[in-house]
Chains A and B, each alone.
Chain A
């Protein structure tokens, strides 16, 4: 995946969360396609107009082929990396040279929050998409929502009385979640012109926002992944907040499978839009003028009439934000799915940057549904040395509340954090209820003091974790439960995947106990994947950057 050691070094600094899904997630324009015309020789690229590195939100993946085509036509090698909105924001805040030439987050909001060094130039919105609630159409009909304006309050009532089970991404990790959340806040604060710090302190706002977030049945750290999970768990969940563009893709896939599509609800008093800005990042490097021209040329290409039409055909809106669009394909922007294609979409205005920051911190530390997170950490002999140090550093980023806050991952007063260190057996079990920084620091001290030794059994700690989840009556929906399982080896002793399978299937914990595997060292990818798939979790690659892998896994509950 990495073309040379220099790139690897640069990337290493920032850590990619996408390594595991490797080739699918990171799509550098295939070398062969560039060098194909000339004898295969990697240095040929130098003779081209160079490389353009773009960091983008996962929702731009669909557009990667268009960007790659631009690269081919212009002899530019394009490397696209995908990161969550918060990761893009954090990378911008980092005073280190930014390891990309361009950013393309889902929303300009993340540039506004991250660009305190004023490195962003030539910001241009390429497309836009509103964040809507997609509900199974029959349920929307039952609720009397078809063709009617629906307020956030209506959604709150319907979710609370069990009319549907719904998903949305974490507001502090993913832009679609943040957009939906800000829309809720506007609605509950009585549609102010601009949400203020005072609005966030209003008791009625706090109580309603806690209620609606408390009724979310499943969270995630990425909008694209949420869609996949929704389709996979279609029998269990009925609705999700996501980009209109992603909901269109969802419906296209559902129809292929002969299933009932989702009906889109655009909350009438709290609709947020994502504006997908592509911008040049000025690192002050010697190549800045060339890179800036490349970004401008790409922008021009993406905004050209022909390409804009292609983008529109993919269910993304183009042209003036909020405005009606002519030439929409009615099979894509299907009015039967509730898609508004004839009206001006009236979006909320984003508040000041410090109000957004405050809103996100409140989400994380007070408003969201609490999480019950169980970390199963591998202390087998092979973890000795550098690996255990990486593990400690990564856990510090989560348990040290000052550090955690930087990534909006601080614990709330209602969270429960449990750590289970293991080798060929369970070594211990440490629990903290709430967010007392001293108590969390104490767990960290225990992690720090423990010495790795012995073999590996990943299933026993996982089974114990599921048992705890059951005991904590997480099934009542009081928590977002998650097990984060880190290992650097192959499970070769003790229990097996079959034990886990039967326990998982017989347990009354149901479908909502995801295990997020973190692959480290020589960990068996197939074992972790089997666990993640069984529990509808996800596997993250921690081999390049364990801290980011942990952070991302934590971002899922």
Chain B
């Protein structure tokens, strides 16, 4: 039985390799005739390489827009994998909860929780795989970071700023400590970490999970622990007042409006890396960037990017996005860490202060617990 299984695997590998070889050869030599899927067969009489392209439709979290619009990524997907991706932006939780039309091939949310919710809904899924990761971080400004360093809440290690006492920061916020108490009298009112609306946007949502864990003495929040912590959690978000509904908006506004508007925000690590590339030609933003500080909560949570294939074609995208070149571009240009073992060398980045490894990570609460949190925050 064992030997037979091994033989099957061997045969399968040969078969895949053969198909791959044929496909490569056909595409490079005889455009439009390397059909392996029905769609390609019907296209064979057409003219040009366009006909062999598979068009995929799907929904993505907004933070991956830059990656999927990257001309280099588009080129690899097209030339090497014959895929063309048409994606719309949607909130991670919204996309897994809506009805899926028949021509939708994939969903690419920004959290494991979204994947869990989709799984539990028992809707069709061919397969899923986490392709990229990015930790939740705080963005701040030089003077705020200095104040937090003085208070011992933040420490600098190997050029990276860590919120070593994240629990104390959360306590201070809930106690109503003012910026004046922190030695920054010019800033308005109380110490607040601004996030996106947790009921609408993934980064805010993950931050709510992280705070719920912190309020449970650093253990993953449970339905039981919420009974006690929900009022504090609600206050934490209520005190923010107006909340943006997109991670991209809050980050851009943070950079544009400066310290007087938002001294401290929640975001993804990937955002500053992608932004660093985007704004490379803008000298004014370049100088603003120098004042920005990236702070890693200890522990933090991973924003994972699981691609959920709804169709067989969607599953092809899972394979294609594991391409080493795409994984490399995802890191150096868009800031996403590889979830499939590609190398993430911090030296290849244009931004400093990014650690090679994110060591101190706590899992997000289970999806049932997150649903309770969201209900409570609504």
Q: Answer whether residue A203 sits at the interface, using C-beta atoms and an 8 A cutoff.
A: no
- Which of B190, B241, B260, B261 contacts A351 (CB under 8 A)? B241
Q: B260 to A347, Cβ gap below 8 A?
A: yes
Q: A195 to B241, Cβ gap below 8 A?
A: yes
- As a 0/1 sequence over residues 240 to 269 of chain B, the CB contacts with chain A under 8 angstroms (1 = contact) are 111101000100110011111100000000
Q: B241 to A194, Cβ gap below 8 A?
A: yes
Q: Which A residues between 331 and 368 are near B, CB-CB below 8 angstroms? A: 344-353, 355-356
Q: Answer whether residue A321 sits at the interface, using C-beta atoms and an 8 A cutoff.
A: yes
Q: Answer whether residue B21 sits at the interface, using C-beta atoms and an 8 A cutoff.
A: no
Q: Answer whether residue A123 sits at the interface, using C-beta atoms and an 8 A cutoff.
A: yes
Q: B260 to A349, Cβ gap below 8 A?
A: no
- Which of B188, B243, B256, B284 contacts A347 (CB under 8 A)? B188
How many A-B pairs have beta carbons closer than 8 Å: the answer is: 74
- Which of A123, A275, A305, A348 contacts B249 (CB under 8 A)? A123
Q: Answer whether residue B129 sits at the interface, using C-beta atoms and an 8 A cutoff.
A: no
- Which of A118, A303, A323, A349 contacts B241 (CB under 8 A)? A349
- Determine the chain A residues whose CB is within 8 A of the CB of B188 once the complex forms: 346-349
- As a 0/1 sequence over residues 29 to 52 of chain B, the CB contacts with chain A under 8 angstroms (1 = contact) are 000000000000000000000000
Q: B259 to A320, Cβ gap below 8 A?
A: yes
A345 vs B242: C-alpha distance when bound (angstroms): 19
Q: B258 to A352, Cβ gap below 8 A?
A: no
A353 vs B261: C-alpha distance when bound (angstroms): 17
A118 vs B244: C-alpha distance when bound (angstroms): 12
Please report whether the interface of chain B is mostly helix, strand, loop or mixed according to DSSP.
loop
Q: Which A residues between 188 and 247 are near B, CB-CB below 8 angstroms? A: 191, 193-196
Q: B252 to A124, Cβ gap below 8 A?
A: yes
> Chain B: which residue is nearest A350 at the CB level?
B242
> Chain A: which residue is nearest B241 at the CB level?
A194
Q: Which A residues between 279 and 338 are near B, CB-CB below 8 angstroms? A: 303, 305, 319-323
A349 vs B188: C-alpha distance when bound (angstroms): 9
Q: Answer whether residue A143 sits at the interface, using C-beta atoms and an 8 A cutoff.
A: no
A196 vs B241: C-alpha distance when bound (angstroms): 8
- Pick the most buried of A195, A344, A347: most chain B CB atoms within 10 A of its CB: A344
Q: A323 to B242, Cβ gap below 8 A?
A: no
Please report whether the interface of chain A is mostly helix, strand, loop or mixed according to DSSP.
loop
- Determine the chain B residues whose CB is within 8 A of the CB of A123 once the complex forms: 249, 252-253
- Determine the chain A residues whose CB is within 8 A of the CB of B252 once the complex forms: 123-124
CB distance from B37 to the nearest CB of A (A): 29
- Determine the chain A residues whose CB is within 8 A of the CB of B189 once the complex forms: 191, 193, 349
CB distance from A72 to the nearest CB of B (A): 24
- Which of B190, B249, B261, B284 contacts A193 (CB under 8 A)? B190
A355 vs B238: C-alpha distance when bound (angstroms): 11
Q: Which B residues between 42 and 89 are near A, CB-CB below 8 angstroms? A: none
A344 vs B249: C-alpha distance when bound (angstroms): 24
Q: A321 to B242, Cβ gap below 8 A?
A: no
- Determine the chain A residues whose CB is within 8 A of the CB of B238 once the complex forms: 194, 196, 352
Q: B257 to A344, Cβ gap below 8 A?
A: no
- Determine the chain A residues whose CB is within 8 A of the CB of B260 once the complex forms: 320-323, 344-347
A362 vs B312: C-alpha distance when bound (angstroms): 55
Q: B190 to A320, Cβ gap below 8 A?
A: no
Q: Size class of A's contact patch?
A: 20 to 34
A350 vs B190: C-alpha distance when bound (angstroms): 14
CB distance from B259 to the nearest CB of A (A): 7
CB distance from B164 to the nearest CB of A (A): 25
Q: A320 to B258, Cβ gap below 8 A?
A: yes
A348 vs B192: C-alpha distance when bound (angstroms): 13
Q: A193 to B242, Cβ gap below 8 A?
A: no
- Determine the chain A residues whose CB is within 8 A of the CB of B176 once the complex forms: 193
A523 vs B257: C-alpha distance when bound (angstroms): 48
Q: B241 to A124, Cβ gap below 8 A?
A: no
A321 vs B253: C-alpha distance when bound (angstroms): 10
Q: A346 to B249, Cβ gap below 8 A?
A: no
- Which of B240, B245, B259 contacts A323 (CB under 8 A)? B259
A344 vs B239: C-alpha distance when bound (angstroms): 22
A202 vs B258: C-alpha distance when bound (angstroms): 33
Q: B257 to A352, Cβ gap below 8 A?
A: no
Q: A350 to B241, Cβ gap below 8 A?
A: yes
CB distance from B263 to the nearest CB of A (A): 11
A320 vs B186: C-alpha distance when bound (angstroms): 14
A321 vs B188: C-alpha distance when bound (angstroms): 12
> Chain A: which residue is nearest B244 at the CB level?
A112
Q: Given A125-B253, A191-B189, do A351 and B242 touch, yes or no (CB 8 Å)?
A: yes
Q: B242 to A344, Cβ gap below 8 A?
A: no
> Chain A: which residue is nearest B190 at the CB level?
A193
> Chain A: which residue is nearest B288 at the CB level?
A320
- Determine the chain A residues whose CB is within 8 A of the CB of B245 once the complex forms: 118
Q: Given A123-B249, A347-B188, A348-B188, do A353 and B258 touch, yes or no (CB 8 Å)?
A: no
Q: A193 to B241, Cβ gap below 8 A?
A: yes
- As a 0/1 sequence over residues 277 to 309 of chain B, the CB contacts with chain A under 8 angstroms (1 = contact) are 000000010001000000000000000000000
Q: B242 to A353, Cβ gap below 8 A?
A: yes
- List 10 A-B pairs, minimum CB-CB distance, nearest first: A320-B258, A322-B260, A194-B241, A321-B257, A350-B242, A344-B186, A349-B241, A321-B261, A346-B188, A351-B241
Query: Which residue numbers of B lie inside 8 Å of A, CB to CB?
Result: 176, 186-190, 192, 238-243, 245, 249, 252-253, 256-261, 284, 288
- Can you list 10 A-B contacts (CB < 8 A)? A109-B242, A123-B253, A124-B252, A193-B192, A321-B260, A346-B186, A346-B260, A349-B189, A352-B238, A356-B242
